[in-house]
Structures are given as structure tokens and as C-alpha cells.
Amino acid sequence: MKTTILVTGGTGFIGSHTCVALLEAGHDVVVLDNLCNSDATVIKRIGQICNREPGFIEGDIRDSALLKNIFDEHNVNAVMHFAGLKAVGDSVQLPLAYYENNVSGTLNLLMTMRAAAVKTMVFSSSATVYGNPASVPITEDFPRSTTSPYGATKLVIEDILADLYQAEPDWRLARLRYFNPVGAHESGLIGENPRGVPNNLMPFIAQTAAGLREELTIFGDNYDTIDGTGVRDYLHVVDLANGHVAALDYLQQRQELLTVNLGTGQGISVLEMISAFEKTNHCNVPYRISDRRTGDIAKCWADTRLACQLLGWQSSRTLENMCADSWRWQNSLRNSTP
Ligand code: NAD
Ligand code: WQD
């Protein structure tokens, strides 16, 4: 069924790739983003990839009047909700800003949706809700906990959605728990563009390979893992975007609260990632080993069977695809810098 989707945070990393997937699936898309961590040129780039642009409104999910106008003026059927602040370290320094933006923003969005009788939302949750898991792979029924205010905002929003569904079962709600999204669109036109020093591994590797950073610091090599470095479930962002379209299709068939992991089910260590990046892209990533980063866990990867069973979705892109696409994007960023 063709629908109009409101994509909050649609100029950001995951939102922009999901706009492409939605447009390619034939949906109409309207993006709402306050550009606090992205820029509006992304809309034109999405247009170049898809031969049609999404609508764009610069604004904030906390602005009730603006949201009401959007629902009045566009025939929105569903919301994909990516807008939020996401830096774990910043959230420790700025907890109120994180709760206000992420939790109050989401509440505001849900209340305006209800007033407009739009009752379908796909929400960006995170593997961070599993805290430090007792074992791997992680299934959706693992206990939830958190180590940061950022993670706490995801827990609270997950609970808000569960309570809402319990009280009003005519909603269609998805809580998608992403593992570690990396890579970029294969066109080289959209990707992750962190402001300042990247917190996450893949952009740091790409910037180091490009010579923008002297070396990568590996946070600990004495974990109980294959080579002592941290192990994660890295997932290509285009696969992740396609998972959103699958979740939307699923919700169009039923009124449900859906909770699924989106990952590959495969754990990759920091050293394995560096080696794959160097080999794929014929480049060099100098590194040194330092102490563990506070709050890091040893290993984390998804049990992906539920997503496959319910959504018919699984990742298809390889580690080499992730490395090649990140590198292409890094180089296109360099070439587009004046
Ligand atoms: P991103 O920062 O690239 O995108 C988020 C977008 O939301 C940005 O464009 C930002 O400008 C916008 N935004 C933030 N607050 C807003 C507000 N109040 N009103 C309107 N727009 C606002 O981040 P991303 O990596 O694309 O993440 C998208 C979502 O997925 C986030 O909710 C994030 O917490 C979640 N998530 C991300 C990861 C990851 O590793 N990238 C992992 C799990 C979950
Ligand atoms: C991956 C591995 C690091 C950088 C974070 C958030 C999580 C989620 C995704 C949103 C770890 C190591 C990293 C570096 C390194 N976001 N590393 N040197 O920590 O799994 O998850 O982003 O929900 O909530 O916590 O991802 O990319 O930061 O780290 O050695 O410079 O790389 O120790 O083992 P993480 P990451």
C-alpha cells in the first residue's frame, strides 16, 4: 500500500538511508529535522539517488504547533521516528538535554499523532537497551538495563510505547533495536558525517585511513574475546534501512507492538574490522592500544531469527561492502570539501 511517511530525523545518518529505501519502495516521504546534527543538502542528494526528493520541513519534534500543521497539511499515514540525540558520552554531561529532546520530543510527537489519528510509528531503539548482556547472541527477551542517560531515554521511550499499546491496542508500533550501523549508500552521496571527533569506530577508522587522524586508539585488548578487543555486530546502514520498510509493511497488516533486533548476528572485533578495512581498501590504519573506555562491554551481537521470521528480513551486505562503502563516502566527503 502506498503511503505518506513522516520521517523525523530524516536528514541524519540512518534516516537519510531510510528515506531512500522508502522512496524506492514507492512511498511518499516528508522529512522533519531541526538540523542539529545534519544538513539540508542531504535532501537534494536523496533526490539524486531516487530521482525524486522527499518533502522537507526544518523544525523540531518538540514544536507541537508545527507538528499539528504537518499532520493537517500532509496526508501522513505513518511516522518513522529517528530524531534524537545519540552521543553516549555527551548524554552523561548533559542528561537533561537528552531527556528533554528524546523523551519529551517523542511524547509530544505521540500526542500530536493521536490527535491527528495517525497511529503507526516505527521507533529507533538500540542494542544499548541490553546493557551488559549475560551472554551472546542476544534475543529480544533478554533483560533490559542501561549504562548512560542516552540508553535510559531509549528504555523510557520503549516503555512509553508499551504502555500506550496496552491502553490503546489500535496503535501499530515498532521498537527496532539496532546493533552497530556502519557503511554508507553505495552511490557515495549520503553517509555518516560526524561533527568533531567521531565517537564510533568506523568513522574513526575511515578518518584515520584518510590521514585526517594520526592513529586510531583501540580501547582495550584484554577483553574475553577472540583477540582481546571489543566485539560488535556491525550492520550495513542500507540493510538497516530496508529493515524499516519491512517493519512498516508488517505493521500495515496488523495492529501490534513489534520489538525486534536488527543486526547481522555476526560478531567482529576491533582488530578484525581494522584488518578488513585495510584489505578491502588497500590502505593503512595506524593504531595504538589504550585502556578500556568507560562503559564499554566486551561483546554484543544479535540473535536475528525473530526479524527473519516476522519480517522476512535479514542483512545481505558483507563486512567488505561496509568497509568499501564507508571508504567511498569518506573520499567523497574529502572531495566535496572546498
Ligand atoms: P543522526 O544524529 O545522524 O540523526 C538524527 C537526526 O535527528 C539528525 O539529523 C538531527 O538533526 C535530528 N534531530 C535531533 N533532535 C531533533 C529534534 N528535537 N527535532 C528534529 N530533529 C532532530 O543519528 P542516527 O545515527 O541517524 O540515529 C538515528 C536514530 O537511531 C537515533 O534515535 C539514534 O539514537 C538511533 N540509533 C542510532 C545508532 C547508531 O549507532 N547510529 C544505533 C542505535 C540507535
Ligand atoms: C565499537 C567498538 C569500542 C572507537 C555505541 C553506543 C551504542 C550505539 C552504537 C546508539 C568498541 C571500539 C571505538 C575508537 C575503539 N548507538 N572503539 N576505538 O560502543 O558498540 O556503541 O554506538 O544507540 O549505544 O554505545 O560502538 O563504534 O563506539 O565502538 O577501540 O576510537 O570499537 O571500544 O569495542 P559501541 P562504537
The CATH number assigned to the domain holding 128 equals 3.40.50.720
Tell me how far apart the alpha carbons of residues 192 and 114 are, in angstroms, rounded to a whole number: 32
Q: Would the CB of 126 count as within 6 Å of ligand 1?
A: yes
Quote the pTM value.
Answer: 0.98
At 277 the pLDDT is 98
Share of the chain above pLDDT 70, in %: 99
- Whether the CB of 11 sits within 6 Å of ligand 1: yes
Ligand 1: residue whose CA is nearest its atom 34 = 86
**Which of 130, 150, 165, 250 is the catalytic position?**
150
**Region 143-166: what's the mean pLDDT?**
97
Residue type at 91 in one-letter notation: S
Residue 338 confidence (pLDDT) above 50: no
Q: Which ligand 1 atom lies nearest to the CA of residue 128?
A: 43
Mean pLDDT score of the chain:
97
Which ligand sits nearest to residue 262's alpha carbon?
A: 1
Condensed to tens digits (0 to 9), the pLDDT of residues 176-219 reads 999 999 999 999 999 998 989 999 999 999 999 999 999 999 99
- Domain annotation covers residue 64: yes
Question: Mind listing the pLDDT tens digit for each residue in 14-64?
Answer: 999 999 999 999 999 999 999 999 999 999 999 999 999 999 999 999 999
Distant-in-sequence, close-in-space partners of 133: CB < 8 Å, separation ≥ 6: 142, 297, 300
Alpha carbon distance 36, 64 (integer Å)? 18
Domain of residue 107, residue span:
4-182+236-263+302-315
Ligand 1 touching residue 9 (CB < 6 A) = yes
Give the pLDDT band of residue 337 (cuts 50, 70, 90).
low
Identify the pLDDT of residue 180: 98
Read off the pLDDT of residues 272-316 as tens digits, 9 standing for 90 and up: 999 999 999 999 999 999 999 999 999 999 999 999 999 999 999
Show the cell assigned to 242. Answer: 530496508
Cβ(33) – ligand 1 distance below 6 Å: yes
Asked if residue 268 belongs to a domain, the reply is no
Q: Is residue 86 part of a domain?
A: yes
What is the distance between the alpha carbons of residues 325 and 338, in angstroms, rounded to a whole number? 22
In the annotation, is 150 catalytic? yes
217 occurs within a structural domain:
no
pLDDT of 2 = 67
**CA atoms within 13 Å, Cβ hemisphere of 240:** 29
Contact 50, 24 (CB under 8 A): yes
Q: Let me know if residue 307 belongs to a domain.
A: yes
Q: Is residue 50 part of a domain?
A: yes
* Residue 334 pLDDT: 80
101 within ligand 1 shell (Cβ under 6 A): yes
Q: Is residue 173 in a domain?
A: yes
Query: Considering the domain boundaries, does residue 136 fall inside one?
Result: yes
- What's the number of domains the chain is made of? 1
pLDDT band at residue 110, thresholds of 50, 70 and 90?
very high
Q: Is 117's pLDDT higher than 90?
A: yes
Examine the pLDDT at 148 and tell me if it is beyond 70: yes
**Is the distance from the beta carbon of residue 147 to the nearest atom of ligand 2 less than 6 Å?**
no
The pLDDT of residue 333 is above 60: yes
Contact 18, 241 (CB under 8 A): yes
- Which of 199, 238, 241, 243 lies closest to 85 in space, CA to CA? 199
Closest Cα to atom 3 of ligand 1: 12
Contact (Cβ atoms closer than 8 angstroms) between residue 236 and residue 192: no
What is the 3 state secondary structure string of the chain? CCCEEEEECCCCHHHHHHHHHHHHCCCEEEEEECCCCCCCHHHHHHHHHHCCCCEEEECCCCCHHHHHHHHHHCCEEEEEECCCCCCHHHHHHCHHHHHHHHHHHHHHHHHHHHHCCCCEEEEEEEHHHECCCCCCCECCCCCCECCCHHHHHHHHHHHHHHHHHHHCCCCEEEEEEECEEECCCCCCCCCCCCCCCCCCHHHHHHHHHCCCCCCEEEECCCCCCCCCCCEECEEEHHHHHHHHHHHHHHHHHCCCEEEEEECCCCCEEHHHHHHHHHHHHCCCCCEEEECCCCCCCCECCECCHHHHHHHCCCCCCCHHHHHHHHHHHHHHHHHHCC
Closest residue CA from atom 1 of ligand 1: 12
Best residue for ligand 2 mutational test, from 153, 201, 297 (most atoms within 8 Å of Cβ): 201
The tens digit of pLDDT for each residue in 243-279 reads: 999 999 999 999 999 999 999 999 999 999 999 999 9
Please, which residues have CB within 8 angstroms of residue 337's CB and are 6 or more apart in sequence?
A: none
Q: What pLDDT sits at residue 133?
A: 97
